[in-house]
Amino acid sequence: MRQIILDTETTGIDPREGHRLIEIGAVEMVNRRLTGNTYHQYINPEREIEAEAIGVHGITNERVADEPRFAEIADAFWAFIEGAELVIHNAPFDVGFMDHEFAMLNRARGEPRLGPVAEHCRILDTLQLARDKHPGQRNNLDALCKRYEIDNGHRVLHGALLDAEILADVYLAMTGGQTALLLDASAGGEGSAGAGGGLAIRRLTLAPGSLAVTRPSDAELAAHRAKLSAIREASGECGWDRLGDGVPH
């Protein structure tokens, strides 16, 4: 399954008041593994950013003055998310802004039309997921990082790509899976990856022949053969038979 963990930053809190997107950050995950494929774009919102919003994300009007407008990046962004499951913290906020941008674009240029997002992507709201798992507790991103022992010390201000990367770790921890996997051979097998419940994933270095193999007992073999016989009787065939005698060695 292809999932896109996504976050946005905006000029204010309500698109109905004319507020716009100014940053999109997203990371791709396939079958619960981060692929390294990301999408990150600053956007000129064609309007002023509210001072309160700048205090949250630190993105100023000057920072985005020379960035492309949404109409210029919409097709590339749509190609990145279309058909995926979008994993978003407080999804109605971000999806509302994306739909607002696509609706304005569609009115301006007609066909081909992009969006609405929920008609082309599945939406998973991790804020609602966290509320279901931890009712009555704080469930913002910082609180979840603390609860699942995920390092977010580098997060001083909100930033779309950084928050998407952190949310990927939080989502995997909340849903019981690995948060990262160390693949860099230069790490020498000692590095650890992100945590959920305080656990880290480490690469093991084993000498040839040192991996212990546990063989079945006579009783376990007898139970295995009896199970295979029951499968053959019920279905007329057994996949184990294609491996030889149907007994693990």
Active-site residue set: 158
Q: Which helix (H) or strand (E) holds 22?
A: strand 21-30
* Residue indicated by tokens 């960035």: 67
**Measured distance CA(5)–CA(38) in Å, rounded:** 9
In terms of Cα–Cα distance, which of 141, 104, 81, 108 is closest to 19? 104
Question: 11-14: long-range contacts at Cβ-Cβ below 8 A with a sequence spacing of 24 or more?
Answer: 11/45, 11/47, 11/48, 11/49, 11/50, 11/53, 12/49, 12/50, 12/52, 12/53, 13/53, 13/93
**Measured distance CA(211)–CA(228) in Å, rounded:** 28
Residue 72 DSSP code:
H
* Residue indicated by tokens 């994300």: 57
